[in-house]
Structures are given as C-alpha cells and as structure tokens.
Amino acid sequence: MVTGATSGIGEATARTLAQMGATVIMVGRDPERGAAARERIRSAAGSAAVELMLADLSSLEDIRQLAQQFKHKYQRLHVLVNNAGALFTARQQSVDGIEMTFALNHLNYFLLTNLLLDTLKTSAPARIVNLGASAHQFARRVNFADLQGQRKYSGWSAYSQSKLCNLLFTYELARRLEGTGVTVNALHPGVVATNFGMSGGGLMPMFNRLMRVAMLRPEQGARTSLYLATSPGVEGVSGKYFVNQKAVRSSKASYDQSAADRLWQVSAEMCGLSA
C-alpha cells in the first residue's frame, strides 16, 4: 500500500513496485486523478495488479474506512509506504477540527499504521516506510504547549515539527515492534520536483516552479523508499533514518524518548486508540 500515490514520489514508488510484480494498493483523495494515475501505472507495468482506494487522509474517519476496506479484501500486507503529506502556508483545520499539517503529516501515519498493524504482523516479514524530511532538523522540539499552532502559526514551523513527529513515531514504533518481524524506517527523499506545496498558497508555488530545474525527478526521489520497501540489504533493519539509501543520524530532538512517549499518548488520545 502506497499513500499519496496519484502523483510525484508516491506514483513513482507505486509504479516501480507494480513493475516488480507486487500487488499495489494506491491511496489517493481525488477519484479522477487517482484513476488517471492507476492507468498510467497499469500501462507501464503490464498486467500488474493495481487497485485504487480513495481516502482523505486528513480525516480520521476516512482513514478508518480505508483500513476496513483493505482488510475486507486482503488478508496480507507486506509493505506499507506512508508517503502522503503537504505543507500549508496558512493555518487550516481538518474535518475533525485538527490543524491540517499535524492531521495529514503525522496523525495520518499514526492512525493508518496502527489500524493495519495486526495485518502487517500476520504477514511478517513486513515493512513500514515513513516519508520524513531533512526539514525535521529545523524543529528543536515538539511544542506540546501549542501543538496545533493555535497561538502562533508558521507553515514552515508546522511542517518541520510534523517531520520531527514522523521520526519520533518511527523510532517509538520500532521499539514496540521488536520481535514481531515487522520493521519500520523513515527517510528523506531529497528535494523533488513534485506538486508539493503548490496548493499551500503564499510564495511556495512560485518557489517550487523556480527551483524545479535543480530538483530531483520523482523517480529519483522514490529510490530510497523503494530501497527500504524491497532491498534484501535492509532485511531486519528497523528504527533508522535513511538518506540516499544509507542510514544516517537524525537530529538530537528526534531521539528524545520522553517526547516520543508523550507524542504517542497524545496521538492515541486524538485518534481514539488505546495507548
């Protein structure tokens, strides 16, 4: 399963997995864009089994319905790629009244992964791949006192904090999955020429267009995701952060165990899960 699979890195990831012979579940929000992406992947991958499942991953209810839909049809899941994410220059709220960056970039990963954990464990060996970003280094800590930017909001700060949350979640989940045969790792894909930030308003769309010449192609940005999803070289490796297909150290803040514990507790409460 690849989320955010209708364009950019997600589509490139899904396409290559399909070309490798995997049954691929694409997750996207827009039915027309999703159907078009599915046809592009099917065309590139021949007779590969590619299915589109629709969900707004900023919605807790949509995530629950997605997990139920998947479990109703499939009994096994060997790879989950949490790829969907965005940067919002102006503060927005999800349908659940949660700040959009936190809802989409973190709670989406947290809830979907937890809802699919039983299937992943049954399918072991299985792998979870979380798209992080080097932007996590700009967040010195998780601001639990103003987690949703209600007092003060900056799109870049909210995004950086969400990427720090991705790493805290990855490392804590790896600890909880020890001995299960399920691994989880995070990665920075590089600066990739996608539609990321194009709907966020402000200067992001202009910056994105100006910088495209220096950016990686989506196929290049997908390499580390694919490496973590498929390579025998990382079999059994868990709780690591990868850049250019190599494990590297992430920021000091990302290894804060007390912050990871607190983030898990807060996230579970917001999602209605037991901690």
**pTM of the full predicted structure?**
0.92
Q: pLDDT of 130-178, one tens digit each?
A: 999 999 999 999 999 999 999 999 999 999 999 999 999 999 999 999 9
C-alpha to C-alpha distance for 108 and 104, rounded to whole angstroms: 5
Hey, what's the torsion of the CAs at 120, 122, 124, 130, to 10 degrees?
10
Q: How far is CA 75 from the centre of its chain?
A: 22
Amino acid at 145: A
Q: Which of 167, 169, 172 is nearest to 247 (CA)?
A: 167
C-alpha to C-alpha distance for 25 and 41, rounded to whole angstroms: 11
Place of tokens 């490798």: 20
What amino acid positions are annotated as catalytic residues?
159
Contact 168, 252 (CB under 8 A): no
pLDDT at 193: 55
Q: pLDDT of 83-142, one tens digit each?
A: 999 999 999 999 999 999 999 999 999 999 999 999 999 999 999 999 999 999 999 999
- Secondary structure in 3-state letters for 173-211: HHHHCCCCCEEEEEEECCCECCCCCCCCCCCHHHHHHHH
What six digits make up the tokens of 89?
């220059």
Beta strand segments in 90-150, E: 126-131
Contact 160, 253 (CB under 8 A): no
State the DSSP H helix or E strand holding residue 29, giving kind and residue range, or none if neither: none
Average pLDDT over residues 43-64: 94
Number of C-beta neighbours around residue 31 at 10 A: 11
CA distances from 21 to 1, 6, 44, 50, 197 (A): 14, 19, 12, 10, 32
CATH (residue range 2-271): 3.40.50.720
Four-residue CA torsion sign, 174, 74, 57, 81: positive
pLDDT at 46: 85
pLDDT at 206: 46
Burial of 168 (0-12, 13-18, 19+ CB in 10 A): buried
For the cut 80, the answer to whether the pLDDT of residue 47 exceeds it is: no
Per-residue pLDDT band at 210 (split at 50, 70, 90): very low
For the cut 90, the answer to whether the pLDDT of residue 23 exceeds it is: yes
**Per-residue burial over 91-107, b = 16 or more CB atoms within 10 Å of its CB, e = otherwise:** bbebeeebbbbbbbbbb
